[in-house]
Amino acid sequence: MAFDYRSSAAVFRTRSQDVTLQGLPMAERYDFLAGDGVPLKLTRYVGGTKGPVLLVHGAGVWSGMFMLPTLKENFVQYLVRHGYDTWLLDWRASVQLPLRQFTLDDAADHDMPAAVRRIREITGAESVQAVVHCAGSAAFFMSMAAGHLPDVRTVVASQVALHHHTPASTRFKALLRVPELLDAGLDSLTPDDASRTPLFQAAFTKVSSFLRMECDSPVCHRLSFMYGRLYRHARLNPETHARLEEQFGRCNLLTFRHLGQMSRGGHAVKFDYGRAENLRRYGQARPPDYLDPEPFQRPITFVSSEQNRTYLPSSTERTFQWLREANGARWYQRRMLPGYGHLDTFMGSTAAEDTYPVLREALEFQPR
Ligand SMILES: [Zn+2]
């Protein structure tokens, strides 16, 4: 099947996030280039001398997921209040950047190393810490496995790392197969305007009456269709739920294909281009995997939310156990967040009391 690799402008709509959030210093903004020349963004809030800590968002969202204006205290405000030099990365998956087709290999090779290098250049720090979520965590771990991030001293992995375990019968799992079934002409999936993509619209209409039982937000219904249950409704306050469209946008199909391949294979592998192209690129018929434990000898905390139905908690359990067996138990710990789903881990109305303290403790984790 053929893909249109032209990048097109993101159609993401947002109200300005540049509202003054309580307790936050003035943002410092840095434009920089990934290793292959793709323009990326870093936003810094200096809360003190701890860190620097890099926050990496998932796919189909942007760094704003860590600083919702609708929470009493969001994750960035929380980290700043606790004295962290906090850095938000908008990597090539960000819906605030122009849409482009990319594999997670591209992000692992070019985005994560460039972001860490830029932060070290600006701060003069020897090393950085990182809190990484979902597809951002997957790409970050692939980058570590490839040996690109020796200067990251502590990692907190939210929901998924090197092993991908998605529920067998969910819509997310089904959606990960959709790109394989489509003809050329559709370059992205989006929750904001289903009418532009007839197949998506048709499939969506079938399930929307079922979804409508939980709430009456069309954006929320499309999100549920695309990713499965991304959050527990009970965890979101009404203001956050009403403004969900500010957080989400288009996700390119090449990334969906790659996530689908890893979901079916169960762990991180390079993109499968098909036998002929694999032989040309990799020198082997099957794409190589990222299962090299050696670069992971550093403190890592794996965090899964108990009710996550996008990536099952067994995803982090597998990477956690695999690394303990390979490198010894001293470097690793795992934390479960009871009662939480996927994105409410950061967007929940009481996350500042429930989940942020767990993530902060994980940043301070020292090998035993
Ligand atoms: Zn809803």
Fold (topology level) of 28-363: Rossmann fold (3.40.50)
Rounded to the nearest angstrom, the distance between the alpha carbon of 116 and the centre of ligand 1 is 36
DSSP state of 222: H
Beta strands in 193-285 (DSSP E): 251-252
Rounded to the nearest angstrom, the distance between the alpha carbon of 231 and the centre of ligand 1 is 9
Q: Determine what percent of the chain is predicted with pLDDT higher than 90.
A: 67
CA angle (332, 336, 341) in 5-degree steps? 130
pLDDT at 245: 84
Rounded to the nearest angstrom, the distance between the alpha carbon of 192 and the centre of ligand 1 is 14
The whole-number average pLDDT for the span 10-34 is: 69
Whether residue 296 has pLDDT greater than 90: yes
pLDDT at 149: 98
Rounded to the nearest angstrom, the distance between the alpha carbon of 225 and the centre of ligand 1 is 11
In angstroms, the Cα distances linking 320 to 9, 58, 329 are: 39, 20, 9
- As a whole number, the mean pLDDT across the chain is 86
Asked if 56 and 130 count as a contact pair (C-beta separation under 8 A), the reply is yes
Question: In whole angstroms, what is the distance from residue 3 CA to residue 92 CA?
Answer: 18
Question: In whole angstroms, what is the distance from residue 329 CA to residue 332 CA?
Answer: 6
Largest CA distance in the chain: 55
Q: What is the secondary structure of 14-66 as a DSSP string?
A: ---S-SPPTTPPPPEEEEEE-TTS-EEEEEEEE-SSEEEEEEE--TTS-GGGG
Rounded to the nearest angstrom, the distance between the alpha carbon of 216 and the centre of ligand 1 is 6
Rounded to the nearest angstrom, the distance between the alpha carbon of 227 and the centre of ligand 1 is 13
Reported residue count of the chain is 368
Rounded to the nearest angstrom, the distance between the alpha carbon of 223 and the centre of ligand 1 is 9
Rounded to the nearest angstrom, the distance between the alpha carbon of 300 and the centre of ligand 1 is 33
Question: In whole angstroms, what is the distance from residue 156 CA to residue 365 CA?
Answer: 10
pLDDT-based confidence at 9, cuts 50/70/90?
very low
Whether residue 2 has pLDDT greater than 60: no
Rounded to the nearest angstrom, the distance between the alpha carbon of 348 and the centre of ligand 1 is 13
In angstroms, the Cα distances linking 88 to 28, 29, 135, 246 are: 10, 10, 15, 17
The whole-number average pLDDT for the span 268-279 is: 97
Of the two residues 91 and 185, the one the predictor is more confident about is 91
pLDDT at 210: 53
Rounded to the nearest angstrom, the distance between the alpha carbon of 14 and the centre of ligand 1 is 18
Rounded to the nearest angstrom, the distance between the alpha carbon of 236 and the centre of ligand 1 is 9
Rounded to the nearest angstrom, the distance between the alpha carbon of 230 and the centre of ligand 1 is 10
**Segment among 66-70, 167-171, 323-327, 346-350 with least mean pLDDT:** 167-171
Whether residue 97 has pLDDT greater than 90: yes
Burial class (CB in 10 A: 0-12, 13-18, 19+), 173: middle
Whether residue 156 has pLDDT greater than 50: yes
Rounded to the nearest angstrom, the distance between the alpha carbon of 232 and the centre of ligand 1 is 9
Who's near 312: CB < 8 A, 6+ residues apart?
Answer: 165, 166, 167, 304
DSSP state of 339: T
Identity (one letter) of the amino acid at 17?
A: Q
Question: In whole angstroms, what is the distance from residue 367 CA to residue 300 CA?
Answer: 9
Rounded to the nearest angstrom, the distance between the alpha carbon of 241 and the centre of ligand 1 is 6
Rounded to the nearest angstrom, the distance between the alpha carbon of 235 and the centre of ligand 1 is 11
Rounded to the nearest angstrom, the distance between the alpha carbon of 222 and the centre of ligand 1 is 10
